């Protein structure tokens, strides 16, 4: 399997969010903010109430945590699961940064098997990588704290019917039957890659700084419907402020797999 790495020319002036080495450096040197947007308590509440309300829910929540980086959110989720007598080993943390995964695996090393979360290295925009997650699927919840925000800065994916079929997600292949190429925005590519890992009652719960993160994405809308978009006031310190700065909000999105 190819190593995660940049597969396209970077736009001049664009941040390096699409380069795993950029993240490795931040995580290895302690230069990352640690928690993007906020510590994610409100997001955690939404995830837990989704799991609690799930019909036929057993005791092992299956949660796919997209791009955890060095956030503590996965650990908090696992602790909350333990408080409810649930297992923690259905939580799968996936990041394309080798350093994030190394740190995560190290932190889990001494956990009992029923508590230990999985940490896997994969580029969520590569079907070759994402398909390695199928043994953990189907997931109940997709947890996404500002990872879609980072992915939204990547360039569009051009997929051709002449590409190696094994590298094209089965959800994308049908689009190539009427057109020789299809162009997906990066968030659409992510959304389509999540389809084979999920089922009709899966919920994608995301925190974003954008009011439009999942809007106007027709390929995404074929498989995911927006249930709610809830404003969350950004706490002072999350954003720079002066006496004349308007209030700033982040947004909690809840989307249902169709
Ligand atoms: C904005 S940070 C968010 C980190 C964490 N969720 C938080 O809230 O602090 C984006 C994270 O997504 C990861 N990431 C970005 N693009 C990715 C991709 N294509 N596949 C897997 N992980 C990715 C980065 O390595 C980084 O850990």
CATH code: domain of residue 130:
3.40.50.150
Secondary structure element (H or E) that encloses residue 104, with its range? helix 98-108
In a domain, 208, yes or no: yes
Does the pLDDT of residue 97 top 90, yes or no? yes
DSSP secondary structure code for residue 48 in this structure: H
pLDDT bin (cut points 50, 70, 90) of residue 51 is very high
DSSP 196-244: GG--TT-EEEEEES-TTTTTT-HHHHTTEEEEEEEEEEPPBTTB---TT
In the chain, the number of structural domains is 1
- Given the CA of residue 144, which atom of ligand 1 is nearest to it? 6
In this structure, of 14-23, 106-115, 173-182, 216-225, the range with the lowest mean pLDDT score is 14-23
Cα-to-centroid distance, 19 and ligand 1 (Å): 10
Please state, in angstroms and rounded to a whole number, the distance separating the CA atoms of residues 78 and 64.
Answer: 12
In a domain, 36, yes or no: yes
Tell me which residue range forms the domain holding 190: 20-154+186-235
In a domain, 1, yes or no: no
Kindly report, residue by residue over 137-192, the tens digit of the pLDDT.
Answer: 999 999 999 999 999 999 999 999 999 999 999 999 999 999 999 999 999 999 99
For a mutational test of ligand 1's pocket, the pick from 35, 91, 92, 95, i.e. the residue with the most ligand atoms closer than 8 A to its C-beta, is: 95
pTM for the full predicted model: 0.94
Residues sharing a CB contact under 8 Å with residue 62, sequence separation 6 or more, in sequence order = 90, 91, 92, 136, 137, 138, 139, 140, 141
Cα-to-centroid distance, 114 and ligand 1 (Å): 26
Q: Which of 238, 237, 217 is nearest to 226 (CA)?
A: 217
Backbone torsions φ then ψ of 210, nearest 5 degrees: -100, 140
Helices (H) and strands (E) in the chain, counts: 8, 9
Question: What residues does ligand 1 touch, defined as CB less than 6 Å away?
Answer: 23, 35-36, 67-69, 71, 95-97, 100, 123-125, 145-147, 149-151
Please state, in angstroms and rounded to a whole number, the distance separating the CA atoms of residues 206 and 183.
Answer: 24
Separation of first and last alpha carbons in the chain = 30
What residue has token string 């199928």? 134
In a domain, 43, yes or no: yes
pLDDT bin (cut points 50, 70, 90) of residue 211 is very high
In a domain, 172, yes or no: no
Q: Output the CA–CA distances (angstroms, integers) from residue 45 to 2, 5, 184, in the order listed.
A: 37, 34, 32
Residues sharing a CB contact under 8 Å with residue 150, sequence separation 6 or more, in sequence order = 17, 67
- Given the CA of residue 129, which atom of ligand 1 is nearest to it? 20
Cα-to-centroid distance, 191 and ligand 1 (Å): 15
In a domain, 174, yes or no: no
In a domain, 93, yes or no: yes
């Amino acid at each position: 399997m190819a190593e995660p790495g940049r597969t396209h020319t970077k736009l001049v002036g664009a941040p390096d969010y699409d380069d795993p080495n950029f993240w490795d450096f931040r995580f290895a040197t302690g230069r990352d903010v640690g928690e993007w947007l906020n510590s994610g308590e409100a997001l955690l509440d939404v995830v837990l109430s989704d799991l609690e309300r799930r019909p036929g829910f057993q005791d092992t929540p299956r949660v796919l945590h997209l791009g955890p980086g060095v956030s503590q959110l996965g650990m908090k989720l696992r602790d909350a699961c333990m408080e409810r007598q649930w297992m923690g080993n259905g939580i799968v943390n996936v990041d394309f940064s080798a350093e994030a995964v190394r740190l995560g695996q190290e932190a889990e090393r001494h956990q009992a098997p029923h508590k230990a979360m999985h940490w896997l290295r994969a580029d969520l925009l590569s079907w070759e990588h994402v398909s390695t997650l199928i043994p953990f699927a189907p997931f109940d919840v997709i947890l996404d704290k500002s990872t879609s925000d980072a992915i939204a800065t990547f360039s569009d994916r051009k997929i051709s019917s002449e590409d190696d079929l094994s590298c094209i997600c089965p959800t994308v292949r049908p689009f190539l039957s009427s057109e020789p190429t299809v162009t997906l925005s990066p968030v659409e590519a992510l959304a389509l890659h999540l389809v084979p890992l999920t089922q009709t009652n899966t919920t994608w719960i995301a925190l974003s700084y954008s009011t439009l993160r999942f809007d106007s994405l027709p390929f995404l809308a074929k498989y995911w419907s927006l249930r709610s978009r809830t404003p969350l006031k950004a706490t002072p310190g999350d954003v720079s402020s002066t006496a004349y700065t308007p209030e700033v909000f982040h947004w909690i999105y809840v989307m249902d797999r169709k």
